[in-house]
Homo-oligomer: A and B are copies of this chain.
Amino acid sequence: METTARLAAAAEQLFNRHGYTATGMDRLTEAAGMSSRTLYKHAGSKAQLMALVLAERDRRFMARLAVGDVDALFAALEDWVAEEGARGCLFLRARAETGGEIPEIARAVAAHKAAFQAHVAAIVEHDLGGRAPALAEQILVLFEGATHAAVYRGVDAVRAARAGAAILMDAARP
């Protein structure tokens, strides 16, 4: 396994489980199985490592959401939560933890959220057969709500979001 990929994978786990600030470099080097010298050679700094993790997670997450309709979108989230658990959105948490004051992290979060919003809007448009910005925002909110309510409500929250989305989509059809 490539060094950088191994590092990113280990860092994603730790950051996701314990948070950005609470995860020390020693834990990262140990989990990645490399010396701090190598870690810094590849990542540059802790903040850049988090940005790397977020970029990697963005690709992985968005690839999972490459579906054709709104119902499949929530089905994909259901699978994600079942496989990876629910700890809330890593992007929003990273941004909140750092107060938005670390440029590389704030940039990665903004990029992901913009892409995510555009993606949802595209799926809604395709599903409905026409632009529907207001409906797309509602679906976005439902998705974000499922992500965060699942932290304490489990997969039921995602299923509720899925059912709610179906009603909203139906209500919007001619």
A interface with B by C-beta (< 8 Å): 17-19, 21-22, 87-89, 92-93, 95-99, 109-110, 113, 117, 134, 137-138, 140-149, 151-153, 156-157, 160-161, 163-164, 167-168, 171
Contact = CB atoms under 8 A, between A and B. Distances in A.
A89 B151 CA distance: 12
The A interface is mostly helix, strand or loop, or mixed, namely helix
19 contacts: A19-B99, A21-B21, A93-B93, A96-B151, A97-B97, A109-B152, A110-B152, A113-B152, A140-B145, A140-B149, A140-B153, A141-B146, A141-B161, A144-B144, A144-B145, A144-B149, A144-B157, A145-B149, A171-B171
Contacts of A143: 145
Number of copies: 2
A101 B92 CA distance: 20
A96 B15 CA distance: 10
Contact of A141 (B87, B137, B157): B157
Nearest to A114: B152
Contacts of A93: 88, 93, 96-97
Nearest to A99: B18
